[in-house]
Structure 1
Amino acid sequence: MDKLAKLREVVLGRMIDPQQQQQLISAFSRIVVEFSFDNVLLEMGFGALLNLKINRLDRKFCYWLLTRVDLNSCLMVFGDGKELPLCPLQWNLVLSIPYGRKTVPLVCDGVDESTQGRIRAIGGWFRMVDASGRTHLPVGEVEKVFVSKLDKTKGKLRTEEDVVHFKSAYLVVLGQLLCPTTNGGNLSISLLLAVSVAAKAENYNWCSFAFDWLMSYVSKFKGKFDKYNFVSGCGGCTIFLMMFYIDHLSLTPYYWNETPRINVWTQSDVMGVIEADRKASRIMGS
């Protein structure tokens, strides 16, 4: 079976049996490696994410982590009084995403015609309109669209438009890691403008962007939690909170001299540390 046939099989199989958001990143990274597009990803500044070894999250643990974030002081605060400061630069140390000089855009008001054209192109490539007329950006569909395009180009990025298509597709899928919503299957339509900078993604501050997105979801989470004492879903990059937290536990240090931290932690290591923390403290956070 050729590479494209294998990838179609993987994508279609996962659409029948959807998994959590990190598996989308892992699968798209496989496309990158299979077709030697890693040089394009390195150019974008996201090459370290190819080393992601975590394909699922402990939902209860991530839910608990969100309850520990203090918005006013930008701290993670735990029951034993321990406090961990949070700031955008930490995202570079943990995930090695770009910390460029330009602000990732979110507000469409006043954008130039060139940017509007890019947004229209991205929408034409990936968005879907449901029966009720609502527009969605389903992340799983992005993979299918991109694999279909690779069919036509015989697995090559032949033109500049092909490269931009790939970079845009990757940013849409990456949104499931850096900027997830409570609806895990769709990327927020509000992020189309952010995707429009894909051609020069390395020049933008994705650390601050992901940090601000997380904090906005923490705010929504806490508002609902304070009102109802329960929240049905989590948004924001909880994988960052998870890796940042387990790196600061008073357990055996784990390759402290290596960054980014995404290179260090495997799925089994993460689950083992979380379980050890539970057993040691009966509640997490000691």
Structure 2
Amino acid sequence: MVAPLDQAAPHATLEQDQRDAATATENSGRDHGAADIADADPGEAICAPGSAPSVTSRISVQKVCSLVGKFNKFKRDLVEEIGFGGMLGIKMLAKLNLKFSAWLMERVEVESSTLKIDEQRVLQIQDHDVQKVFSLPCGTRSICPDTTEPSAACKEFMRASAYLSKGAHSLKAAEAYLLRDDINADSSKVQIDCFKIAFVIFVVGHLLAPSTKHDYITIDFWAALNDISQIKEFNWCAYVLEHLNRAVGKLKTDIRNRNITVHLVGCHLFLQVFYLDNLDLGPLSKTKDHLPRISLFDYESVKKMIEVITSNVDGDTSFAGASVRPLPFNFAYRQYVLPQND
């Protein structure tokens, strides 16, 4: 059920909804939403009795890691050639803290491109921040859905996907092509280009801009795939941020409407890494001289970092328990916005 807009609380938050639900749950001594969401598997729907809203997401680091772990050197080199080599170094994050992701997304201010924790901690988010986290191409050309006549490689990928009875929009079709044994040094240029196209579709659908649909991606970036030799010229970092900003708007609307289920889309993993990487967490903080940043974040260290910054007061869970790293480190990103003095 969705409460009408005029009946929704004007300042509704995820924490408030979860606190209210926990209070309404008979003989419950814990906040179901907070506890159950914390260790949610990517793509797994969590809906404990009395919890509202439940938080789900189809983002899956597991699928990306599992796939690239099967690549031989030749296939890994093909990924490097298109500028997506950062995807090869991602650690296996078996679970993502979806409550943490939702908390961060609530604090993104799209208009100013900032992550605002409070008046003193306001982090600017720019394309180059995404580049530092994932090492994606950050070229000068914008990615738009329009395209000219599809290239031979695009047509071949569509044909191969259709042969699998799944279609080019299917993530399983992309995965099947990527796992083909006949992609090697003897492969034709069209086959090689198809592999590269399939890889981009796979990582965008599972990690960089996941949607709400199972095994399906809306390919609004065909223009950037039409000439594989030019893929690095496009700004894939801006593309990731654009979809994340849309996801933020969707989340805030869902919370305002008090939807029973809040489905996180967009690359909220970026927000987790970006935020944690900018905090001063002592020995848990990552070394600053390493790119891409995502390769430093394994499951256990992420879990410990989140535990350190988490507090729970009267049912409200906060992840604001640390200060921002000092200036020398933050130059690795684009720096935080200093509060203005009147």
The TM-score bracket by the shorter chain reads 0.7 to 0.9
Specify the code of the residue in structure 2 equivalent to 1:266.
Answer: D
Structure 2: stretches of 5+ with no match in the other structure = 1-57, 322-342
Pair 1:166-2:198 in alignment: no
Q: Which residue of 2 aligns with 1:142?
A: 174
CA distance in 1, matches of 2:96, 2:266: 13
Q: Deviations over 1:194-213 (max 9, x none)?
A: 44454432221111111111
Number of aligned positions between the proteins = 256
CA distance in 2, matches of 1:244, 1:203: 24
- Given that 1:24 and 1:173 are in contact with CA atoms closer than 8 Å, whether structure 2 keeps it comes out as no
CA distance in 1, matches of 2:133, 2:274: 7
Q: Which residue of 2 aligns with 1:53?
A: 91
Specify the code of the residue in structure 2 equivalent to 1:242.
Answer: Q
Over 3 Å counting, the alpha-carbon distance change for 1:169 and 1:61 in structure 2 is same
CA distance in 1, matches of 2:157, 2:274: 33
Return the match for 1:112 from 148, 151, 159: 148
Over 3 Å counting, the alpha-carbon distance change for 1:100 and 1:140 in structure 2 is same
Alignment of 1:1-286 (within 5 A): 21-32=60-71, 34-55=72-93, 56-79=95-118, 81-106=120-145, 108=146, 111-113=147-149, 115=150, 119-126=154-161, 137-147=169-179, 149-150=180-181, 153=182, 155-156=184-185, 158-175=187-204, 176-228=206-258, 231-252=261-282, 253-279=285-311, 283-286=318-321
- Quote how far apart the aligned CAs of 1:84 are: 1.0
RMSD: 2.7
- Given that 1:69 and 1:218 are in contact with CA atoms closer than 8 Å, whether structure 2 keeps it comes out as yes
> Which of the pair has more CA radius of gyration?
2
CA distance in 1, matches of 2:308, 2:186: 46
CA distance in 2, matches of 1:230, 1:85: 31
Over 3 Å counting, the alpha-carbon distance change for 1:246 and 1:89 in structure 2 is same
- Quote how far apart the aligned CAs of 1:81 are: 4.4
CA distance in 2, matches of 1:73, 1:65: 15
CA distance in 1, matches of 2:225, 2:260: 33
CA distance in 1, matches of 2:261, 2:225: 29
Q: Deviations over 1:239-280 (max 9, x none)?
A: 110100111223113212323212322121111111121159
- Given that 1:104 and 1:206 are in contact with CA atoms closer than 8 Å, whether structure 2 keeps it comes out as yes
Identity level (%): 21
CA distance in 2, matches of 1:36, 1:119: 21
Q: Deviations over 1:170-214 (max 9, x none)?
A: 001111211111225322243444444544322211111111111
With the length of structure 1 as denominator, give the TM-score of the two structures. Answer: 0.79
With the length of structure 2 as denominator, give the TM-score of the two structures. Answer: 0.67
Over 3 Å counting, the alpha-carbon distance change for 1:165 and 1:31 in structure 2 is farther
CA distance in 2, matches of 1:139, 1:157: 26
Q: Deviations over 1:71-92 (max 9, x none)?
A: 2221111257421111111111
- Quote how far apart the aligned CAs of 1:231 are: 4.8
CA distance in 2, matches of 1:183, 1:167: 23
CA distance in 2, matches of 1:91, 1:26: 19
CA distance in 1, matches of 2:214, 2:293: 24
Specify the code of the residue in structure 1 equivalent to 2:86.
Answer: A
- Given that 2:153 and 2:190 are in contact with CA atoms closer than 8 Å, whether structure 1 keeps it comes out as no
Specify the code of the residue in structure 2 equivalent to 1:275.
Answer: E
CA distance in 2, matches of 1:218, 1:97: 21
- Given that 1:65 and 1:241 are in contact with CA atoms closer than 8 Å, whether structure 2 keeps it comes out as yes
Greater helix share, structure number: 1
CA distance in 2, matches of 1:158, 1:117: 15
Q: Deviations over 1:47-68 (max 9, x none)?
A: 1221101433212211222111
Specify the code of the residue in structure 1 equivalent to 2:61.
Answer: Q
Q: Which residue of 1 aligns with 2:52?
A: none
CA distance in 1, matches of 2:286, 2:306: 14
